[in-house]
Each structure stands twice: as C-alpha cells, then as structure tokens.
Structure 1
Amino acid sequence: MDGPAESPADVQALKRQAIVREAREHFVTEGYTATKMEPIARAAGVSTATIYSLFGGKSELYSAVIDEACDDFTRRMESIRAIDGDARETLTSFAEDYADFMGDPFVRSVFRLVVAERTRFQEVALRFFNHGRAEVGLTLIDLIRRLSADGELKPIEHPSWAAGHLVGMIEHPTFFVNLVTGDQIRIRRNRKQIVDDAVETFLARYGA
C-alpha cells in the first residue's frame, strides 16, 4: 500500500531544499556574478519559474543560501553545548569540535563566498558574522564562566577576551592560513597538536 501523499507544502519545501542545495554549490564554485539560474534549476529538477516563484531572484536566492549555511553550521556546533567535565576535558572537547569545523573545506568556501560578496550584500555578511559570533562565541563564553565558577579556572574578569584567545589559537592554523592561501600551504602541526597546544597555552594563562 502506498504511503500518504505529500502535501503541496511538503512538495514546495522539498523543491526549496533542492534549489538551495544546488545554488550553494554553484555560488561557492562559480561566484555570485557567474552563477546562472538555469543550471541551478536543471540540477534541482525544477523550472526557472519555480525558482523565481520561491525566491524572487538571484539576490534573494543567495541570501537564502547563506542563511541555510548558518543553520547548517549551528546544527554542527550544537554538540558543543552538551560538554561536561573538568577544564581540560571541556576545553579540549570544544577545541576538537571547533578545529574540525573550521578546518572543513566547505566551511572555508562559504566564508570565502561571503567575504567576496560582502560589498554587494553587506547586510547578509553582517548577519552571517553575528550568527557565527552568537553560536560559537557565546557557547565558549558560557563554558568559561561555568568552569571559572566551579573553580576549574581562575576568576576571569573578561570571559569574552579569554574565549577570543582560545579560538584565535585554533582559527589561525586551521582556518585563516588556508582561507588566505587557497589551501596551498600545509601546516606542520596536525589537528591534535593544534588543539593540545591551544588548550595547554590557555590553561597556563587561565587555569586555577
């Protein structure tokens, strides 16, 4: 027996999902200007009229792609919220997940796209930045506050500064070097060494 038929809303949602997925690949690989609606429609299995009916135009589709990437990033970072343990365990777990996230070539490709189009889409770029700061920065700040309150870290007057110190030690080798060089330079330290060094340096400064 066949299952229940999909509602029109479900069909529209599936079409929208397919369009955003294919548009993301085109924007990332070709850039905003070179991306055309017709190839996206063919890859998504819809008509160009469907794209325009759902998004209005290419700029609205670009905005939807970046917003969807933000949501994807949030889902991938949610596991960090459940961390529980002493300072080294907690910070190492956070640092490992964050290093994996920032070291993902797809994540870098989205950042490159946002940076390349920031003058054209300033509001989208600002929303992207604020979203990342809230999802990652506030999560780590909350962890640092908890560890400090539990006596695992020293009393920290500015938890946001401490959070910036830790993520900066992770972001530079796993993200910014490759972002700037186009993945042409290989960092000598592996991911585990980067994480261990960052946590050790952080605890030397802030450990109780």
Structure 2
Amino acid sequence: MLIDAVLNRSERKKTEILTAARGVFLREGYAAAGMEVVARMAGVSTATLYAYFPSKAKLFEIVVHDAVGRMAEPVRESVQATGDARARLTSLALAYATFMSQPATRAMFRMVASERRRFETVADHVLRAAHQDLGGAAIKLIRDLVETGELTVDQPAWAGGQLLGMLDHATLVLGLAAGDEAQPARPLGEISADAVETFLTRYGNPKPSPGEEGVSF
C-alpha cells in the first residue's frame, strides 16, 4: 500500500511538471523557456525537476509526445459515436474541427515546426501521430461505414484526407495565418456539417425510399 501511494504521488508530480512545462514551452518557446521557470510553475524545486527529467531537451520531447496523445483523444473517441453515416461523420468532423481550432493545438504545431532543425525526431513523431491518430480515426470510421453499405469508397485513406482537408483551411490554417486565438467567422458545427454533406454527395449511398426496399424487377 505504501509503495502504491508513493508511486501514485510520483506520477501525479510528473503530470504536474509536464502540464507546467507545456504551458511554459508554448508561451516562451523552447529556447527562451527556463527549467527554473518550469520548476516554479510546477511547484517543485529545480533539483526535483531534474530528478524527473535530466535535461530541458528530454523534457521538451516528453512534453510534445504527451501533449499530442492527450490533445487528439477527443478525435479518436468520436469514432465511437452512434447513428447513421451523417451523424457519425459529423461527430468526427466536429471533433477534428474543434481540435484544430484550439489555440494550444496551433501553438504546438507552430512550436514543433520552429524547432524542427533541433528536434527532427520529435517533429517526425508529431507528423506520424497526426497521421495515425487523426487520419487513422477518419479511415476507421469510413471503413466501418463501407461495411454497413452507407458509403462506397475505394481508397479510405484518400477519402479521409479529403474530409479532413475540407476542415483544415477554416481551422488550423486560419490559426497559423491569423494567430493561435483566431476563430472562424462561422460556427464549427456549420463548417463540419457542410464538409460532411459534400463528402456524402461524393461517397454516400442514399437509403432506399419507403416502399423501394425489396422491390425487384
């Protein structure tokens, strides 16, 4: 019991440090961020901080890995939504649009891009994670809907990229061009619904009208 309590306390402290470090890195950038500032924000001594993370570079790497996984979780969970193709695709589209509209998401992408020369492996991880977590969620959902007969798609990866791509300009690209806090003029729900309607026009299989099911000639 005592060992479990110590381990739980250690994990909580690690989480608190990562949360503080993410805020400092996003606000100050890697070069300007100081370990002393991170320690102060996390409420620990500098010695304790270094006991958990031996260098600022290692802390940065872990912060990025941890943040990418946590921030994309709502998009992954959206695949579990129920309903018809329109409802499930809209759930995914809205989760993705919301994720890409968050200032923290944009700041993370911006920070990783600016530090690519210093942390090429970290930048590559972010790209792979984005492909696997975000694109993978879209691909999984599209494959599910193909199996139910609600979509006709030959290349789920291409179709998933098209759906998410329709959302990128109004969300992520807007933020990168106009600032992390910039938000679309239209509600995200409308933007997501329009993207889904366009997608269904291309790939959707309309349900038979009442009385048409089972009719043969």
Corresponding residue number in structure 1 for 2:160: 163
1:91-113 Cα distance to aligned partner (Å, 9 max, x none): 11111111111111111111111
Does the 8 Å CA contact 2:167/2:195 hold for their aligned counterparts? yes
After superposition, the Cα gap between the structure-2 partners of 1:77 and 1:186, relative to the gap in structure 1 and judged at 3 Å, is closer
Q: Radius of gyration: which is bigger?
A: 2
State the alpha-carbon separation in 2 of the partners of residues 6 and 148 from structure 1. 46
State the alpha-carbon separation in 2 of the partners of residues 16 and 170 from structure 1. 35
Corresponding residue number in structure 1 for 2:62: 64
Q: Is residue 2:179 matched to residue 1:182?
A: yes
Q: CA RMSD in A?
A: 2.0
Corresponding residue number in structure 2 for 1:35: 33
After superposition, the Cα gap between the structure-2 partners of 1:124 and 1:201, relative to the gap in structure 1 and judged at 3 Å, is same
Q: Is residue 2:145 matched to residue 1:138?
A: no
Give the CA deviation at 1:190: 2.3
1:61-119 Cα distance to aligned partner (Å, 9 max, x none): 00111111022124333421312322111111111111111111111111111111111
Corresponding residue number in structure 1 for 2:147: 149
The one-letter amino acid paired with 1:90 is R
Paired residues in the alignment total 205
**Unpaired stretches in structure 1, ≥5 consecutive residues:** none
State the alpha-carbon separation in 1 of the partners of residues 171 and 72 from structure 2. 19
Does the 8 Å CA contact 2:76/2:134 hold for their aligned counterparts? no
After superposition, the Cα gap between the structure-2 partners of 1:111 and 1:190, relative to the gap in structure 1 and judged at 3 Å, is same
Secondary structure (helix, strand or coil) at the match of 1:112 reads helix
State the alpha-carbon separation in 1 of the partners of residues 104 and 180 from structure 2. 12
State the alpha-carbon separation in 2 of the partners of residues 69 and 192 from structure 1. 25
State the alpha-carbon separation in 2 of the partners of residues 48 and 183 from structure 1. 30
Give the CA deviation at 1:142: 1.4
Alignment of 1:1-208 (within 5 A): 7-154=5-152, 156-183=153-180, 187-208=184-205
The one-letter amino acid paired with 1:168 is G
State the alpha-carbon separation in 2 of the partners of residues 85 and 184 from structure 1. 33
Length-normalised TM-score, structure 2: 0.87
Percent identical pairs in the alignment equals 40
**Unpaired stretches in structure 2, ≥5 consecutive residues:** 206-217
After superposition, the Cα gap between the structure-2 partners of 1:183 and 1:72, relative to the gap in structure 1 and judged at 3 Å, is closer
